[in-house]
Amino acid sequence: MQKIQNNRAWWLVLPVFLLVAFSALIPLMTVVNYSVQDIFGPGQAFFVGTEWFKEVLGDERLQDSLIRQFMFSGAVLLIQIPLGIGVALMMPKSGIKGSLCLILIAIPLLIPWNVVGTIWQVFARGDIGLFGWGLNELGFDYNYTGDTVDAWLTVLLMDVWHWTPLVALLCYSGLRAIPEAFYQAAEIDRASQWAVFRYIQLPRLKSVLIIAVLLRFMDSFMIYTEPFVLTGGGPGSSTTFLSQTLTTMAIGQFDLGRASAFSLIYFLIVLLISWLFFTAITQDDKEK
Show contacts with another protein in window 173-212 (CB under 8 A): 173-174, 176-177, 193, 207-208, 210-211
253 binds another protein (CB under 8 A): no
276 binds another protein (CB under 8 A): no
Query: Shortest Cβ distance from residue 181 to another protein (Å)?
Result: 17
**Residues 249/20, Cβ–Cβ less than 8 Å:** no
| Rounded Cα–Cα distance for residues 22 and 187 (Å) | 55
- The DSSP letter of residue 34 is H
Stretch in the footprint of another protein (CB under 8 A) among 46-54, 57-65, 123-131, 280-288: 123-131
Secondary structure class of 46 (helix, strand, coil)? strand
Phi/psi at 136 (nearest 5 deg)? -65, -40
Query: Shortest Cβ distance from residue 112 to another protein (Å)?
Result: 5
135 binds another protein (CB under 8 A): no
230 binds another protein (CB under 8 A): no
Stretch in the footprint of another protein (CB under 8 A) among 40-48, 56-64, 98-106, 230-238: 98-106
Query: Shortest Cβ distance from residue 182 to another protein (Å)?
Result: 14
Secondary structure class of 179 (helix, strand, coil)? coil
79 binds another protein (CB under 8 A): no
| Rounded Cα–Cα distance for residues 187 and 193 (Å) | 10
84 binds another protein (CB under 8 A): no
Q: Report the residue number, 173 or 184, with the smaller CB distance to another protein.
A: 173
Query: Shortest Cβ distance from residue 288 to another protein (Å)?
Result: 18
234 binds another protein (CB under 8 A): no
> 136-165: which residues touch another protein (CB under 8 A)?
161, 165
| Rounded Cα–Cα distance for residues 153 and 216 (Å) | 18
Q: Report the residue number, 87 or 156, with the smaller CB distance to another protein.
A: 87
Which are the contacts of 220, defined by CB distance < 8 A and separation ≥ 6?
A: 72, 73, 76, 77, 159, 163
Q: Which of 15, 42, 43, 58 binds another protein (CB under 8 A)?
A: 15
Phi/psi at 241 (nearest 5 deg)? -90, 175
Q: Which of 39, 218, 237, 277 binds another protein (CB under 8 A)?
A: 218
57 binds another protein (CB under 8 A): no
> Cα angle vertex 84, ends 79, 280, to 5°?
75
Angle between helices 202-221 and 256-287 in degrees, nearest 10? 170
Q: Report the residue number, 104 or 202, with the smaller CB distance to another protein.
A: 104
How many residues touch another protein (CB under 8 A)? 93
Q: How far is CA 191 from CA 45, 92, 93, 186, 203, in A?
A: 70, 21, 20, 5, 16
22 binds another protein (CB under 8 A): yes
Q: Report the residue number, 199 or 267, with the smaller CB distance to another protein.
A: 267
Secondary structure class of 280 (helix, strand, coil)? helix
| Rounded Cα–Cα distance for residues 242 and 263 (Å) | 9
Sign of the torsion angle spanned by Cα atoms 58, 153, 235, 121: positive
Length of the chain: 288
Stretch in the footprint of another protein (CB under 8 A) among 40-48, 52-60, 109-117, 195-203: 109-117
Q: Which of 128, 138, 181, 280 binds another protein (CB under 8 A)?
A: 128
